[in-house]
Amino acid sequence: MKAWILHDIAKICFEEVGRPEPADNEVVVAVKAAGVCGSDIPRIYQTGAHVHPLIPGHEFSGQVVDTGRAVDAGWRGRRVGVFPLIPCRKCVACRGQHYELCRSYSYLGSRRDGGFAEYVAVPEWNLVALPDNVSYEQAAMMEPMAVAVHAMRSALAPDVDRQQPIAVCGFGTIGILLAMFLREAGFGNLYVIGNKDFQRRMAAGLGMDEAHIYDSRHGSAREWLMTQTKGAGVDVFFECVGKNETVSDAVLCTAPNGTVQLVGNPASDMLFDKHTYWKILRDQLTVKGSWNSSFRHSAEDDWQYVLDRLQRGRIHPEQCITHFFSLDALEQGFEIMRDKTQEYVKIMSGA
């Protein structure tokens, strides 16, 4: 089969390699769609992966073409999405079914071969059967969608006031999907902060009020948001950037007894000055983090939440797909994201 092999930092090649054979508890998935995550770019060009050589790619979907000896043969031919984290099932977190908090996990696309290939071996436990009306492209976006849902559900209880003011800072893939799910859940008083023209267009395309969309290149997002809220701040602030200044803005723009939900992967050390730290104490803020998503084969987990909205046509993540490349041309997508030469949200490859 053909696959993108990461041999070392910045050494990724499209090569012929052996097609994987499934272990007893695995299936082989023919990849039909694979998205490039923002985390893939530093993994490829800056930090490398946990092991080399490695096939990157953890956002993908496809069709089961082979099954291991211990796997239900009924999976063969099924269309599937894939939860990429492979938990140990033994640690304290796993015993509580908080698999996203596993202390000794493996991961498709960063610790073992992933989806930037024609075929990939996947544990049966990690499969999500797809309804006929959910496309491969939509299913390949289930992973970032579930990350957005996990953050939303961490910060907001099901019975909270839908008109409370909420901010989303950082309007990349996760921020856009988070705004989609917030609007789908009925939250109408939403402010978004980005730094690109197309992000404003994307937010407007979601039906948001233009007055609630801000381009931080034009000035202080903190001053804008506090002006918009007449100095009160927002009840919930989703920080989806991961920079020191935006984390500080999140704290300083959150109302007393409010919640700061940290979502963005850190791009730097996080250092609170004295004023910002006092704000947390004196306003009794809740500062929470979220990472990954819940997956328990349960109707209550984040992946089933996403799948339900996809199946009912309530969420349309395909709106985020700005580029689609054949597998052999996917390096163009990597370079667009690395060099920022074009506007993009989600770059995807497919069969």
- pLDDT tops 80 at residue 351: no
**Residue percentage of the chain with pLDDT more than 70:** 100
pLDDT digits (tens, 9 = 90+) for 293-327: 999 999 999 999 999 999 999 999 999 999 999 99
CATH superfamily of 148-289: NAD(P)-binding Rossmann-like Domain (3.40.50.720)
- Write down the pLDDT at residue 205: 87
- Which pLDDT value is given to residue 267? 83
Mean pLDDT of all residues belonging to the chain: 96
Q: List the chain domain ranges.
A: 2-140+316-350, 148-289
- pLDDT by residue (tens digit) across 64-102? 999 999 999 999 999 999 999 999 999 999 999 999 999
Q: At what angle do helices 244-252 and 274-282 cross, to 10 degrees?
A: 40
| Residue 114 and residue 84 in contact, taking contact as beta carbons nearer than 8 Å | yes
pLDDT tens-digit readout, 220-231: 999 999 999 999
Cβ neighbours around 154 below 10 Å, total: 19
DSSP 163: T
Return the closest-CA partner of residue 142 out of 68, 202, 198, 79: 79
For residue range 276-292, what is the model confidence (pLDDT) as tens digits?
999 999 999 999 999 99
Instruction: Give the pLDDT confidence of 249-260 residue by residue, as tens digits.
Output: 999 999 999 999
| CATH class label, 2-140+316-350 | alpha beta
Please write the tens of the pLDDT for every residue from 98-120.
Answer: 999 999 999 999 999 999 999 99
